[in-house]
Amino acid sequence: MKKSFVVLGGILFFLSCKPMYKTSEFKIATAPPKPDYSQTDQWAVLPNQLPTALQEIIGPQETKPADVFFIYPTLFTDKKNPAWNADYRQQNIRANVLEKSAAFQASAWCKAANLYMPFYRQAHYRIFVDSFALQGVEAGKLAYEDIKSAFEYYLTHHNQGKPIIIAAHSQGSLHAKRLVQDFFDGKPLQNQLIAAYLIGVKIEPSMFKNIPALNTPESIGGFVSWNTYKNNKLPKKYNQWYKGGIATNPLTWNNDMYSDNTAHLGVLNSDKKIYPQSLSIQVIDGMIWSSVPRIPKRFLLSFVKNYHFADINLFWGNIEENAVVRTQAWLNKYKS
């Protein structure tokens, strides 16, 4: 049994060598009802609807000239739940999204932009387990239908021509890359794209026709992506899941293959404090290696190889600064 203890961001989950899940046949008739995004309670976060856990990280907010549309990662992991898609109406699921992903992940973009974060019928974690992956295809499609619907509602009722950041993690980034393909890639809306932060999944260089990988901190109109592992460690599925993918340096946002801790602006830890200059990184093919961050209880992380759970938390300070830089670059180009 392998266990990954998520200290950063307060996200706790377990990965097993031989995962045992209750499951059932996917049936659309038994799926939770489709969210109605005209109702504010179908959104985890709106600019005038900030959960307490998020406010504790970012403080009071003023209206920004840009928006960020954030898609949260897989939080539906209960091995005893046979459902394929999360029921966003359940209080434990909603609390998970608000107290974990909104507070410790989406918060990184709030200094730059107004945050829009929909609840959605995300697919269960087991869709990423080989023995369930084929069954889980329809669950993934259902989840994306919600994201697409939420984004369409956002464009019609909220955007008002403002520039847009797309940000996501893990399963959220799988949906986000489809969103970029469907709404931005070679489309008129591409001119409104500040950047897409497609974190925690493999994004191949040929993924988009007109959306480039960004290689400078002030570049706009493209995407960044990375997956994080402990120094000198590789996952078993490295060739399948990571190799050949874009690996952005989230400390300098350029082509540096190594960055020491002086470029690190801060880990957002579970104690809601920022710890700067606490790690260094090395960029390799398809992913980045991180040193064990110097934070309280860091000894727990010394036993963990896979830092996927902290792809955002580890670089929270750098993401926050970079989102501001790119947003200003967009405003300078299109609003000057």
Residue 27: pLDDT over 90? no
Angle between helix axes 137-154 and 171-183 (nearest 10 degrees) is 60
Q: Give the model's confidence band at 18: pLDDT under 50 very low, under 70 low, under 90 confident, else very high.
A: very low
pLDDT average, residue stretch 222-238: 96
pLDDT tens across 288-303, in order? 999 999 999 998 888 8
Q: Would you say residue 5 has pLDDT above 60? A: no
pLDDT at 230 over 90: yes
Closest CA to 211 of 184, 189, 234: 184
Residue 47: the pLDDT is 98
Q: How confident is the model at residue 19 (pLDDT cuts 50, 70, 90)?
A: low
pLDDT tens readout for residues 51-92? 999 999 999 999 999 999 999 999 999 998 889 999 999 999
Q: Give the phi and the psi of residue 199 in degrees, each rounded to 5.
A: -100, 140
Quote the mean pLDDT of the chain.
92
In this predicted model, which residue has the larger pLDDT, 122 or 2? Answer: 122
Q: What share of the chain has pLDDT > 90, as a percent?
A: 84
Q: Residue 207: its pLDDT value, please? A: 96
Between 129 and 332, the more confident residue is 332
Q: What is the mean pLDDT of residues 278-284?
A: 98
Residue 211 predicted with pLDDT over 50: yes
Q: What is the pLDDT of residue 334?
A: 95
Higher pLDDT among residues 128 and 321, named by residue: 321
Per-residue confidence (pLDDT) for residue 29, from 0 to 100? 80
Confidence category of residue 7, pLDDT binned at 50, 70, 90: very low
pLDDT recorded at residue 8 = 39
CA distance 42 to 264: 36
DSSP, residue by residue, 275-313: E-S---EEEETTEEEEPPP-STTGGGGGG--B-GGGTTG
Give the pLDDT score at 259. 98
Residues 200-225 have a mean pLDDT of: 97
Residue with tokens 């200290």: 7
Q: What is the mean pLDDT of residues 242-270?
A: 97
Q: Please determine, for residue 14, whether its predicted confidence score (pLDDT) is greater than 50.
A: no
pLDDT in tens, 143-162: 999 999 999 999 999 999 99
Give 70-130 as a DSSP string: EE-------TT---SB--TTSHHHHHHIIIIIIHHTGGGGTTTSEEEEE---PBPGGGGSH
Residue 127 has pLDDT above 80, yes or no: yes
**Structure-token pair, residue 294:** 């110097």
For 164-206, write each residue's pLDDT tens digit.
Answer: 999 999 999 999 999 999 999 999 999 999 999 999 999 999 9
> Residue 331 to residues 66, 158, 196, 311: CA-CA distances in angstroms?
9, 19, 16, 28
Q: Is the pLDDT of residue 114 over 80?
A: yes
Lowest mean pLDDT among 2-6, 55-59, 69-73, 321-325: 2-6
Our measurement of the distance from residue 163's CA atom to the centroid of its chain's CA atoms, rounded to an integer in Å, reads 19
Residue 20 has pLDDT above 80, yes or no: no
